[in-house]
Structure 1
Amino acid sequence: MVTKSLLLLAALWTTIVNAETMEETIKRNPPRNISISHGSLGEYTLSWEGNCTCTEGIEYQLEYTYLDSKDNEMEMYYLQENQKVLDLELHRGLQARVRLTYGDNPGITSNWTERTFDLSGELFASVDNLICIFYGKLYMNCSWDVTEHASEGAQFNLSYRERNPSEVYNCTDYLVDGGRNIGCVNHKYRLGEATETIICISEVNKKDKLPYCRIVKPGSFYKLDSPMNVTINKSTDEVEWTLPKFGLNIICYNFQLNITNLNDRNSKLENVTTTNHFISRDHTKKYSVHVRVVVNDNCLESSIWSDWSKPLIIDPDGRDMSFPTIVAVVAVILVALVLLLVLVCMKCKLLSKLCQPIPDAEQKFKGLFEECNGDFQKWINKSIQLTNKVEDSSLATAK
């Protein structure tokens, strides 16, 4: 028993002495001289020097963050080697630090060795504000601004890749302004929506300039097609719509409805997670409804909404009229027409013209009725005889 106890005490003492020795060694040999070098498209190697000859249980702890990061969130790695290959958006500037750690005892560390890489914008391709939008799994559109530092003949190309630097893809169709490429349009991209992709703009005629790069997940910049076939059931006020096929489950989508009262132009937005929604409306007023969609954080969490759908116009509800109401309306219309006709006649004096008295034939032709009892033939013969007598009298007088 005594022997075993002595052995345990000896082992414990050895461990304590070794730990103290390791702690002193680590603290005396912090990493030194952090440097960075450029490799392939958007790829950089962070490296440093280390004097510590103690290798068993020793690791390097590397941390870095971008200078323009709002939350100063650190990326962290534990490494056996004194370098790390990284894909970086180096134009944003970089704060890096490294130290030695003892794996069996995280409290045993060296001091941090830090370095800031705040590189001039002139070292990179003369562009800024690189933005890419991905349309489902079909194609992408990218655009960028040319900075004031660009030379007159500066020309730019877009390339992209995933983690493997040997598989680089190039844009095939550019948007050109003033002879310069300022965008990549309708490009069929070949990478996964959930995989980090590094997209870089290189200045063709300035090989010494570093590429301007962004690291994105395509799914975070998805822009879906607009919802289609927006309809409403007027009896229940349920609005429904359909989606183009994207290959995602319905739980992946958030929808937004823009409901506008067209009488007073008041609008409201309503957020839903299904392809139908009951709206509240005044049935005596006219409305328009638009719908748009975005991928939510259940799947990819895009920050870009689709365009609004074509407007659904909802007219005020019609009212059914009873038979007495129809009769009354028709009667009112007829009376109105009669009154209108009378007014027109009075205005144009048509009544006096249309209502002239019928001439009395007995007054105009008294001989016909008083002497011949209305016998027209007898009256004619008598008139002829009378005319002949008058003519004979006229001849006799003339002689």
Structure 2
Amino acid sequence: MLKSKMWQLTAILMLISDWSQCIKSQEITVDPPENIGIDDPGHLGPLYIYWTAPASLTNLTACSMRYHLEYFNTYQSRWTVIRTVRTWYRAQFDLEKEVRVRISTLLKGACTNGTELKSPFTEMVLPPNNTGPVGSRVRGFGCVFYQKEFMECTWETSLEEPTPSQYSLCFWHREMEQAEECPQYIHSNGVRTGCKFTEESLPEFSDFNICINSSSPKVVLRSAFFSLQIQNYVKPAAIETVHLEASPDRRLQVQWDLPNERIPRHCLEYEVEAREEGVGGQLLLQRNVTNEMTLTSLSMDGAQRKCFRVRSRMHHYCADRGFWSDWSRWSCHSDTESDAVVGCAVIIGIIISMLILSLFGWALWRTWKAREGELMPFGPLHKLMEYSKGLSAHSHFNKTRENQ
């Protein structure tokens, strides 16, 4: 009986302890982070977001604290969520658009009875520094990474560009300490309309940030910011040679040679375009995409002429996207060429057969001549041989009389 009462008392004490801890956890107020700020290091897109822990929780040791950070990714048009124990974070932003950041405190441990508590958000909005008329921004910006050897980025002049004015391009990537100006400008009619980058300054799978602005003594023009990863802008060189080989079953084997460039073969895919000319000059176009450097075409039946050309681009295993190379030259095969080949083969076969038969007949004749006594007992040839023997005997008799 006494033992049962002791168990009841222990249970009551445990309930009281849990209830008191629950009340204590409910009494804790989780404040949001303080001193939030955003710093621009001049890298044309990456910004440093920083904050400090709430002062009300700095002396709290019974719980662990981390932070829930959200920022609006304007490239993907969605909020990106990060949870970290640090008090800073680095993120890429489009500086032509509004920077929106919000952060809260997460608290969990003995002080919260194992429950994770979350503070309200602290928000910060940084407006873009877009000065100048909207129409003064450059248009038609685009980049092409040729054969992974050099990249050209070009643009068109703005609609509201005052004259005289001059464009400038600055760029930055992770291997640089600070942004630099274009190493080699491209000019059109004395105006900068592009920039050429060498391969040494082009790291792949990394944000390559670009800013283009224009200076004018009359008005402040609007800057343009771009961020790209150069492996997605590769354009291979055009394929130089396409080989066609006809098989006995009237199929065509299409093969091609790659130009000498830095793109690995396993990173390329190919598009083969076939142009088939039938009776009456009708055209039929077909396209096939393959990862191999050869393709077997369908039968030539019904086609008088078949032509092929090939182009290549980066495979999705090596890049998210890319540009098709220029097409190779057309390589054609005519059905009459196949007939001519077959006809020549037949004629050559007949000639070879006749030569073999002639050689066989000549061999028989030689054997026949060697055994003329047995193999030529009759016929014109036998008479000719007897006549020849008579002439030889008569000549021998005449010589003998002269000697006497």
How would you bin the TM-score normalised by the shorter chain? Answer: 0.5 to 0.7
1:255 to 270, 273, 283: 270
Alpha-carbon spacing, 1:276–1:188, altered in 2? closer, same or farther (3 Å): same
How many positions carry a matched residue from both structures? Answer: 319
What code does the residue aligned with 1:309 have?
S
After superposition, where does 1:1-399 map in structure 2 within 5 Å?
16-17=22-23, 19-22=25-28, 25-26=29-30, 29-31=31-33, 36-42=38-44, 43-47=46-50, 51-55=54-58, 57-67=64-74, 69=75, 72-80=77-85, 83-102=88-107, 107-114=116-123, 117=126, 119=128, 121-122=130-131, 126-164=137-175, 166-185=177-196, 187-204=198-215, 212-235=224-247, 236-247=251-262, 249-262=264-277, 263-283=281-301, 284-318=303-337, 319-320=339-340
Alpha-carbon spacing, 1:278–1:118, altered in 2? closer, same or farther (3 Å): farther
> 1:249 offset after TM fit, Å?
4.6
Other-structure match for 1:334 = none
Alpha-carbon spacing, 1:129–1:300, altered in 2? closer, same or farther (3 Å): same
Compute the TM-score of the two structures, normalised by the length of structure 2.
0.65
> 1:164 offset after TM fit, Å?
5.0
Q: Deviations over 1:373-397 (max 9, x none)?
A: xxxxxxxxxxxxxxxxxxxxxxxxx
> 1:279 offset after TM fit, Å?
1.6
Whole-Å Cα distance in 1 between the matches of residues 267 and 24 of structure 2?
Answer: 55
Whole-Å Cα distance in 2 between the matches of residues 50 and 156 of structure 1?
Answer: 44
Whole-Å Cα distance in 2 between the matches of residues 20 and 136 of structure 1?
Answer: 63
Note if contact 2:137-2:222 (Cα within 8 Å) is conserved in structure 1. Answer: no
> 1:10 offset after TM fit, Å?
8.2
Whole-Å Cα distance in 2 between the matches of residues 253 and 188 of structure 1?
Answer: 19
Other-structure match for 1:375 = none
> 1:82 offset after TM fit, Å?
5.2
Q: Deviations over 1:236-261 (max 9, x none)?
A: 41111122344555432221111122
Note if contact 2:182-2:195 (Cα within 8 Å) is conserved in structure 1. Answer: yes
Alignment identity in percent? 18
Note if contact 1:66-1:92 (Cα within 8 Å) is conserved in structure 2. Answer: no
Whole-Å Cα distance in 2 between the matches of residues 246 and 299 of structure 1?
Answer: 16
> 1:272 offset after TM fit, Å?
0.7
**Which protein is bigger by CA-based radius of gyration?**
1
Alpha-carbon spacing, 1:312–1:211, altered in 2? closer, same or farther (3 Å): same
> 1:21 offset after TM fit, Å?
3.9
Compute the TM-score of the two structures, normalised by the length of structure 1.
0.66
Where 2:232 maps in the other structure, the secondary structure is helix
Residue segments in structure 2 that go unaligned for 5+ positions in a row: 1-5, 348-404
Whole-Å Cα distance in 1 between the matches of residues 335 and 64 of structure 2?
Answer: 78
Note if contact 1:194-1:217 (Cα within 8 Å) is conserved in structure 2. Answer: yes
> 1:223 offset after TM fit, Å?
1.0
Alpha-carbon spacing, 1:286–1:137, altered in 2? closer, same or farther (3 Å): same
Where 1:74 maps in the other structure, the secondary structure is strand
Whole-Å Cα distance in 2 between the matches of residues 7 and 217 of structure 1?
Answer: 63
Note if contact 1:49-1:82 (Cα within 8 Å) is conserved in structure 2. Answer: yes
> 1:64 offset after TM fit, Å?
2.1
Whole-Å Cα distance in 2 between the matches of residues 311 and 240 of structure 1?
Answer: 13
Which stretch of structure 1 is more off in the superposition, 199-208 or 239-248? Answer: 199-208
Alpha-carbon spacing, 1:291–1:265, altered in 2? closer, same or farther (3 Å): same
Where 2:131 maps in the other structure, the secondary structure is helix
Residue segments in structure 1 that go unaligned for 5+ positions in a row: 327-399
